Amino acid sequence: MNKLKFLRKLAEKNGITKKEANKFLNNFIELIYQTFEETEEYKKVTLTGFGTFGAKYRNAREGKNPRTGKTIYIPAKKVPTFKFSKLLKIFLLNKIFIINFFNILK
């Protein structure tokens, strides 16, 4: 599903316009970005029943250039992470039948 289809469904479900749904989604994404900009600490944003947005520090290491096979230096960096919640993993893997997924989260 692309962003446009997602916004259409979000707008329908909440009785709002696509423009309002787009504003909500953009604000949500911006808030996650701002959370990680506030400090150098590697913060997490956890949405119960959905997952956790985070960041981790990846150490510097040696690697190989896949084209030449030559050894190269890969610098240390901070990388984004996302971990699915246990409930969402179960839902996606169809391990159990969930009649109304969102009622469980309330």
Contact (CB, 8 A) for 101 and 91: yes
- What one-character-per-residue DSSP string does 1-26 give? --HHHHHHHHHHHHT--HHHHHHHHH
**What's the pTM value of the predicted model, to 2 decimals?**
0.66
Q: What is the pLDDT of residues 91-101, one digit of tens each?
A: 777 665 555 55
CATH assignment of 3-105? 4.10.520.10
Q: What is the pLDDT of residues 49-103, one digit of tens each?
A: 899 998 888 999 999 999 999 999 999 998 889 999 988 888 777 665 555 555 5
Query: Running DSSP on this structure, what letter comes out for residue 64?
Result: E
Query: Running DSSP on this structure, what letter comes out for residue 105?
Result: H
**Length of the chain, in residues:** 106
- Domain ranges, ordered by start, for the chain: 3-105
